[in-house]
């Protein structure tokens, strides 16, 4: 072997030995990787805000949120083009809820300094403006209303929300429940409103969110659901559910799940026996699951949503709840 080749091999050997990683170093790197993995499991930024998770669901399917911060809102008085015959004050309100700017219409009865208040949740596909007919009728009874533009105008995508739930991300339906809770805080903070006389009312899908929000907010005196019902997930045996996560999620968005924790708030249901969208049988089943205090009224029109025939029942129950 030539001296030149021997020198090359020696340099190669030295270079190789200079980059070799010792066993203690390998052990340390492995330990650090394990720590990083554990931290990744324990810390999920999509389900964390500071020290507290933004939502939790119990094994029974009850949704809960951390304490809400003091509400911050802006208000601007606007022309009432929806019920110009009334002398109401109409304001456009904006408030923040889970990173979203929520807009709502606050309708205050004329000559009122401390009105009882209602959070009003329209049905799916119905805007806050389109709900002003009912809001104006409630105003004539003496009740202020805060009507929301719900996310997606109240429409839901259960399959997509289940995907989010399984990924540890917040389903949009949870955001919508939280929006209703924040709306009740905003309504209570308005100077024209009596914060001790508050309830929530929802039509159709809005009624479902109203039931959840009322169960999660003890300051509300009750909930009135118009043309609404639960989903009947209580019929599913949890021990037989093949997908425990799906079972837990479906229970968490079912109004029927929350009926047991609703009292002392009152549960009121107004429904048509000929409702073409949500059957009367579903409404009857939900009512049967509710605890006292509760009341149910039936009308007969073949329609979905509020009708004039519901007026006396609505007026009666609001008087019992808030006066």
Q: Are residues 83 and 181 in the same domain?
A: yes
Q: Are residues 224 and 275 in the same domain?
A: yes
Q: Which residues span the domain enclosing 31?
A: 3-43
Let me know if residue 23 belongs to a domain: yes
Identify the bridge partners of residue 5 per DSSP, sorted by sequence position. none
Q: From the CB of residue 125, how many other CB atoms can be counted at a distance below 10 Å?
A: 13
Q: Are residues 38 and 60 in the same domain?
A: no
Q: Are residues 109 and 199 in the same domain?
A: yes
CB distance 317 to 138 below 8 Å? no
Q: Are residues 11 and 60 in the same domain?
A: no
Q: Are residues 133 and 181 in the same domain?
A: yes
Let me know if residue 236 belongs to a domain: yes
> pLDDT grade, residue 280 (50/70/90)?
very high
Q: From the CB of residue 199, how many other CB atoms can be counted at a distance below 10 Å?
A: 24
Please say if the pLDDT value at position 11 is more than 50: no
Please say if the pLDDT value at position 308 is more than 80: yes
Please say if the pLDDT value at position 67 is more than 70: yes
Q: From the CB of residue 46, how many other CB atoms can be counted at a distance below 10 Å?
A: 11
Q: Are residues 21 and 135 in the same domain?
A: no
Domains of the chain: total: 2
Report the distance separating Cα 206 and Cα 272, nearest Å.
16
Let me know if residue 299 belongs to a domain: yes
Query: Rounded mean pLDDT of the chain?
Result: 87
How much is the pLDDT for 52?
A: 56
Tens-digit pLDDT profile for residues 207-241: 999 999 999 999 999 999 999 999 999 888 877 67
Q: Are residues 36 and 131 in the same domain?
A: no
> pLDDT grade, residue 111 (50/70/90)?
confident
Let me know if residue 50 belongs to a domain: no
> Which among 204, 211, 202, 249 has a CA at the least distance from the CA of 227?
204
Q: Which residues contact 233 (CB under 8 A, 6 or more apart)?
A: 61, 247, 250, 251, 254, 256, 257
CB distance 272 to 302 below 8 Å? yes
Q: Are residues 259 and 219 in the same domain?
A: yes
Please say if the pLDDT value at position 46 is more than 80: no
Please say if the pLDDT value at position 121 is more than 80: yes
Let me know if residue 51 belongs to a domain: no
Tens-digit pLDDT profile for residues 171-209: 999 999 999 999 999 999 999 999 999 999 999 999 999
The CATH number linked to 111 is 3.40.50.1820
Q: Which residues contact 256 (CB under 8 A, 6 or more apart)?
A: 230, 231, 232, 233, 234, 285, 286, 289
Please say if the pLDDT value at position 5 is more than 60: no
Q: Which range is least confidently modeled, 14-23, 139-148, 289-298?
A: 14-23
Please say if the pLDDT value at position 137 is more than 70: yes
What are the Cα distances from residue 136, in Å, to 81, 131, 196, 268?
11, 9, 22, 21
Choice between 34 and 76, residue whose per-residue pLDDT is larger: 76
Report the distance separating Cα 79 and Cα 250, nearest Å.
42
Q: Are residues 257 and 148 in the same domain?
A: yes
Q: Are residues 163 and 22 in the same domain?
A: no
> pLDDT grade, residue 242 (50/70/90)?
confident
Let me know if residue 48 belongs to a domain: no
How much is the pLDDT for 236?
A: 84
Q: Are residues 18 and 67 in the same domain?
A: no
Place of tokens 């509710």: 290
pTM, two decimal places: 0.84
Let me know if residue 49 belongs to a domain: no
Burial of 45: CB neighbours in 10 Å, binned 0-12, 13-18, 19+: exposed
> pLDDT grade, residue 2 (50/70/90)?
very low
How much is the pLDDT for 247?
A: 93
């Amino acid at each position: 072997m030539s001296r030149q080749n021997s020198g090359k091999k020696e340099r190669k050997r030295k270079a190789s030995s200079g980059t070799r990683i010792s066993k203690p170093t390998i052990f340390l790197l492995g330990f650090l990787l394990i720590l990083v993995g554990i931290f990744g499991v324990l810390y999920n930024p999509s389900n964390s805000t500071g020290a507290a998770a933004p939502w939790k669901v119990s094994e029974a399917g009850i949704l809960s949120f951390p304490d809400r911060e003091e509400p911050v809102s802006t208000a601007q008085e606007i022309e009432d083009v929806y019920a110009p015959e009334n002398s109401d004050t109409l304001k456009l309100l904006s408030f923040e809820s889970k990173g979203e700017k929520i807009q709502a219409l606050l309708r205050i009865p004329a000559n009122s300094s401390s009105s009882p208040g209602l959070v009003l949740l329209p049905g799916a596909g119905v805007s806050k403006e389109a709900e002003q007919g009912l809001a104006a009728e409630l105003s004539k009874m003496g009740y202020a209303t805060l009507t929301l533009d719900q996310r997606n105008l109240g429409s839901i995508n259960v399959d997509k929300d289940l995907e989010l739930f399984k990924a540890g991300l917040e389903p949009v339906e949870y955001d919508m429940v939280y929006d209703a809770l924040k709306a009740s805080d905003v309504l209570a903070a308005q100077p024209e409103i009596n914060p001790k006389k508050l309830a929530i009312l929802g039509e159709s899908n809005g009624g479902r969110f109203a039931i959840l929000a009322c169960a999660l907010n003890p300051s509300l005196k009750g909930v009135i659901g118009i043309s609404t019902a639960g989903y009947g997930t209580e019929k599913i045996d949890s021990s037989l559910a093949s997908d425990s996560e799906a079972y837990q999620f479906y229970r968490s968005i079912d109004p029927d799940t929350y009926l047991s924790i609703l009292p002392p708030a009152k549960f009121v249901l107004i429904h048509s026996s000929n409702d073409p969208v949500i059957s009367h049988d579903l409404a009857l089943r939900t009512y049967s699951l509710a605890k006292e205090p509760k009341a149910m009224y039936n009308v007969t029109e073949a329609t979905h949503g509020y009708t004039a025939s519901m007026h006396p029942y609505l007026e009666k129950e609001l008087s019992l709840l808030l006066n």
